[in-house]
């Protein structure tokens, strides 16, 4: 990715998050969408919102990564599989905070699942099962995302 595109991405990220936290503006940005920008996850459930289009390669979790993870979780739901977070980490070859290869590590997996949960995808049982055997930090999958969660550095 070239530096120019990354700079544009960062400006867009700042704009989206600034609008989300601005109390003087009507809330036009969904918390899930703002969280996707904050965590740099391609927001696959917000295709009607155009601000992320053209930046797929700039998100830490690309559209393809995000869609593939969702398809795996949907498959577990459809087959009534009791997929836990540790099971999913094993499938993705994640070992604690590191990975053997691929786009995932523990934090990116937790963050992407949180984006799905904030978006209202799947159902609460999936998230309860997933986090029934998980590291402590996976509890954030169930947490809301508010303006006070955004920090500009």
pLDDT tens across 135-153, in order? 999 999 999 999 889 988 7
Distance, in Å, from the CA atom of 103 to the CA atom of 99, rounded to the nearest integer, reads 8
* pLDDT band, residue 99 (cuts 50/70/90): low
Q: Is the pLDDT of residue 132 over 90?
A: yes
Burial group, residue 130, by CB count within 10 angstroms (0-12, 13-18, 19+): buried
pLDDT of residue 100: 62
pLDDT of residue 2: 84
- 17-67: per-residue pLDDT in tens? 999 998 766 667 899 999 999 999 999 988 778 878 888 889 999 999 999
The domain segmentation of the chain, as residue ranges, is: 3-22+31-59, 63-142
Cα dihedral across residues 66, 8, 12, 151: positive or negative: positive
Higher pLDDT, 119 or 27: 119
Distance, in Å, from the CA atom of 139 to the CA atom of 134, rounded to the nearest integer, reads 8
Quick one: CA torsion of 81, 108, 143, 26, rounded to 10 degrees? -120
Mean pLDDT of the chain: 89
């Amino acid at each position: 990715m070239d530096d120019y595109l990354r700079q544009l991405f960062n400006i867009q990220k700042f704009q989206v998050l600034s609008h989300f936290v601005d109390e003087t503006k009507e809330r036009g940005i969904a918390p899930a969408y703002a969280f996707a920008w904050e965590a740099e996850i391609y927001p696959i459930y917000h295709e009607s919102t155009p601000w992320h289009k053209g930046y797929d390669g700039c998100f830490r979790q690309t559209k393809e990564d995000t869609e593939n993870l969702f398809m795996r979780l949907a498959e577990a739901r459809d087959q009534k599989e009791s997929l836990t977070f540790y099971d999913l980490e094993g499938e993705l070859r994640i070992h604690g905070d590191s990975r053997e290869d691929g786009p995932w590590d523990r934090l990116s997996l937790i963050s992407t699942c949180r984006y799905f949960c904030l978006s209202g995808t799947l159902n609460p049982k999936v998230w309860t099962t997933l986090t029934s055997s998980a590291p402590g930090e996976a509890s954030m999958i169930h947490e809301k995302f508010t303006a006070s969660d955004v920090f500009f550095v």
